[in-house]
Structure 1
């Protein structure tokens, strides 16, 4: 099983920064994102602060954001290889369903877990709807999906880039930091600095070869 973070891992961008650009708050949001990914700021607090800057935006901007998404080089090819090899795939994101679900469905991803924007009268309220997908949620999702599919935890691969991916990466059979922040690199089994997410594939092959 492969479980991947989304923003700056499966995608080249941070979705919330793309949304914030429409609110004229991209620089402010990017600064908070960077601090959170380095582990300098609590992720949940940082997310609430970033989403608050989006209050009043029409929900129609999310279609523009979806159209602007750029998968990381090799990401879609990695999913294709996983599907062909019978590897279960999941995206677990501190980002937002409204941005990534369409791309995930077209790529053939098996599971997606992310946050949701609260919307009222066709506009973002500046709040998150429902529980926050934080670092511990990511870890629990890895473990729950592995149990659901009957995949031993040692046959799982988790990949991310930021501090909020650390518990998930540590829990996986092989934990990968993809162009990762120091806080994640410290706890990962593998650190990839290349441009392509397809560099994850050889590590999945190692697990598949054990069959």
Structure 2
């Protein structure tokens, strides 16, 4: 069998990892309950993602940037992630993670996992404390799709050899841009759009690699 060079792009929070990073940071600010409520609305598609992100990040103002290391050490990769990475690499493929979360955390835990490229939001920090604002472009649904296409071009992998994996409304455009869409423990709006639903393990997506 000829190996197919593929690109698999995953959402981060509740897909690549078990946690919602912003909720872990919100623990330090004492705002987790409010942040979790807004996150749920956004992932169900009932709250504009950019607006919801700004509202959640605003509650983090004043938190020390030392929180990033604590959060990174608490992160758990979801079942099957390592197996999926190994399967993609065995086919000379690439793995990307694109997140509505934060580069400050991804930069700490993704190196060494086999992920080739990643992108997320950047938090504004002044005097070693979070300001409650995001710097630059917000990674919303359109941005996720843009990065899937851009990484495909970067690695010379056409759209028909791509898979997108996500769980929430913010992943839908990325999933539409890929050849196959995988919903991992997805919200109902994502379940309807998925070619495959993985309830237990990210390794369930491996079967699609040989269909590209």
Alignment match, 2:74: 68
CA contact (8 A) 2:69 2:108 kept: no
Q: 3-state DSSP class of the match of 1:105?
A: coil
Query: Partners of 1:63 and 1:42 in 2: how far apart?
Result: 29
Aligned to 2:170: 164
How far, CA to CA, are the matches of 2:55 and 2:104 in structure 1? 19
Give unpaired runs (5+ residues) of structure 2. 1-6
- Give the structure 1 partner of residue 138 of structure 2: 132
Q: Distance in 2 between matches of 1:177 and 1:83?
A: 21
Of 53, 60, 64, the residue aligned with 1:58 is: 64
Partner residue of 1:49? 55
So what's the TM-score if we normalise by structure 1?
0.95
Structure 2 match to 1:82: 88
> How far 1:77 sits from its partner (Å)?
2.4
CA RMSD after TM alignment: 1.0
Which structure features the higher share of helix residues? Answer: 1
Structure 1 residue runs of 4+, over 4 Å off? none
> What is the number of residues matched between the two proteins?
206
Matches of 1:77 and 1:189 in 2, distance apart? 20
Match for residue 205 of structure 2? Answer: 200
The aligned counterpart of 2:105 is: 99
Q: Which residue of 2 aligns with 1:12?
A: 18
Q: Which stretches in structure 1 are left out of the alignment for 5+ residues?
A: none
The answer as to 2:32 corresponding to 1:26 is: yes
Paired residues of 2:196 and 2:205 also in contact (CA < 8 A): no
Deviation at 1:103, TM superposition (A): 2.1
- Aligned-residue offset at 1:145: 1.3
Q: Do the aligned residues in 1 keep the contact of 2:167 with 2:187 (CA within 8 Å)?
A: yes
Q: Is the 8 A contact 2:168 2:187 kept in 1?
A: yes
Q: Give CA-to-partner distance per residue, 1:80-114, whole Å, 9 cap, x none.
A: 22223211110010011111223221112111010
Structure-1 residue corresponding to 2:9: 3
2:3 corresponds to: none
**TM-score relative to the length of structure 2:** 0.94
